[in-house]
Chains A and B, each alone.
Chain A
Amino acid sequence: MAYEANHVAVRIKGLVAERVPRIDAVAGDARIRDLGLDSVAVMDLVMAVEDQYEVIVPLERLAEIETVDDLIRVVCGLIQGRVVS
């Protein structure tokens, strides 16, 4: 599972980087809003992540996602939940 979490982190950072102009590496503790993504861009990012892992990040859980690491943590939790169920 640790390997998978790592893999998820790399991929999600990649999806963030694709949406932020002029950035080489995305730090895990970077606040998503501070990266210059407006609310619509954040929603698009979340949808792309959802499709990548075939999960659903419910709208009401967006409030707990401030940093890139938060997003990674929520998605890893959803993937694990899916595996468990």
Chain B
Amino acid sequence: MSLLSHLSPLRDAYHRLTQAGGDPFDVNFDAILSPTEGVLNGSRMLLLGTNNYLGLTFDPACVASAAQALQMQGTGTTGSRIANGTYGGHRALEEQLARFYGRRSAMVFTTGYQANLGMLSSLVGPGDHIVIDADSHASIYDGVKLSRATVTRFRHNDPKDLSCRLGRLPAGGNTLIVVEGVYSMLGDSAPLAEIAAIKREFGAYLLVDEAHSMGVLGKNGRGLAEAAGVEAEVDFIVGTFSKSLGAIGGFCVSDQQDFELLRLVSRPYMFTASLPPSIIASVSAALDRLQQEPALRRRLSDNARRLHTALVAAGFVISPKPSPIISIQLASPELAIAFWNRLIDAGIYINLALPPATPRGIALLRSSVSAAHSEEQLDRVVDAMVAIAGELGVITPRRRAVSG
């Protein structure tokens, strides 16, 4: 028996997955040409699975800022901020984030995943309680394990269930509720106003992960807390630089007293090399762009609505509300895999998401719309999806009404 023999069921499932053609979990692009186009196996590909919501990855100001930092400060920091020191850019970006959110403090992490690990592992501890949405991202599930607090899940986006479970918690200790601004698989949002009211009623703390909602929701792009008008009730906002800000990294902002002390206890912060100056510079420039150009957000919203409306009209099973994450639900993983391969053949790259990474065991074709997509590109996606769905029997092609 080999060391990895426990993975043999996975090996068999993976083998079956790749029998239908390409490998959805090992896509190797030859080149990335723009926020919306790449080259895969020699063919031009329209990118619709990037989380590049504002399309800033090739933004000239962000690229120039990163290039200048690279030239002036080198390729990396080669260590953590605790052990090897903070660069000017790290602090400046933290101040910029705190200003953007109107908070007293901000802390930058090396990835979004680590931001959740870093915060959840250090905000609460043994004797405390964390209550998380059942559909939380893996980084939340992993982070709460590190906390050693008692972890309870409530049914996805169900404030009544949250309230029920809070009521069952034993007395003593602090309680932290964790939800997401936009859930990454189906693109739905937490009912944050109701959750904030429950938080108040139970005297709990509230952390919102705005990874997919920063730069997407809210008048100023501050996310769901802003859109729902409950920023004052949200004690901690966690976010990422790898989506609307087009780079990599994560952060948390808060008004909590003694927030700065977390730098001395948060192991995912302390024991990782800090972000290189070039990334810090491009993120800072991207945050400027996010604030200075609300038109990007409007274009993103228009694009999301355009794709959503067309797919609903075509008869696909998708989320009821438009959001930049638009996921088509399919009857089986096999069908989803076949559909995904046909889309690649048609020059369209989207994400395939299968159970157990998806809620309720559903198979998903997940698109993420960008402000950088043109209407022509989105219309091409709809045409291809409708044609493939017709061929695979996913939807019944609608007949055009013939007049006269």
Contacts and interface: CB of A to CB of B under 8 A. Distances in A.
A43 interface: yes
Interface of A: 38-41, 43-44, 47, 50-51, 54-56, 58-60, 85
A54 B168 contact: yes
A56 B168 contact: yes
Interface of B: 134, 141, 144-145, 148, 150-153, 155, 164-165, 168-170, 355-356, 358-361
B151 A59 contact: yes
Contacts of B145: 59-60
Contacts of B358: 40
Given A59-B144, A60-B145, A40 B361 contact: yes
7 contacts: A38-B355, A39-B356, A40-B358, A58-B152, A59-B141, A59-B145, A59-B153
B150 A60 contact: yes
A44 B361 CA distance: 11
Given A38-B356, A40-B355, A85-B170, A59 B152 contact: yes
Contact of A43 (B134, B144, B165, B168): B134
Contacts of A43: 134, 153
Contacts of A54: 168
A50 to B, nearest CB: 8
B134 A47 contact: yes
Pick the 4 closest A-B CB pairs, nearest first.
Answer: A59-B151, A40-B356, A58-B150, A38-B356
A2 to B, nearest CB: 25
Given A51-B164, A56-B168, A56-B169, 19 more contacts: A38-B355, A39-B356, A40-B358, A40-B359, A40-B361, A43-B153, A47-B153, A54-B168, A55-B168, A56-B150, A56-B152, A58-B150, A58-B151, A58-B152, A59-B144, A59-B152, A59-B153, A60-B151, A85-B170
Contacts of B360: 40, 44
A43 B151 CA distance: 13
Contacts of A51: 164
B363 to A, nearest CB: 13
B150 A41 contact: no
A15 B135 CA distance: 21
Contact of B165 (A41, A56, A85): A56
Contacts of B169: 56
A51 B356 CA distance: 23
Contacts of A85: 170
A41 B356 CA distance: 9
Nearest to A57: B152
Most A C-beta atoms less than 10 A away, residue of B168, B170, B360: B168
A33 to B, nearest CB: 10
Contacts of A59: 141, 144-145, 151-153
A64 to B, nearest CB: 14
Contacts of A38: 355-356, 361
A84 to B, nearest CB: 12
A50 B167 CA distance: 13
A80 to B, nearest CB: 14
Contacts of A41: 361
Nearest to B145: A60
Contacts of A39: 356
A13 B40 CA distance: 50
A39 B354 CA distance: 13
Nearest to B150: A58
Contacts of B151: 58-60
A60 B281 CA distance: 40
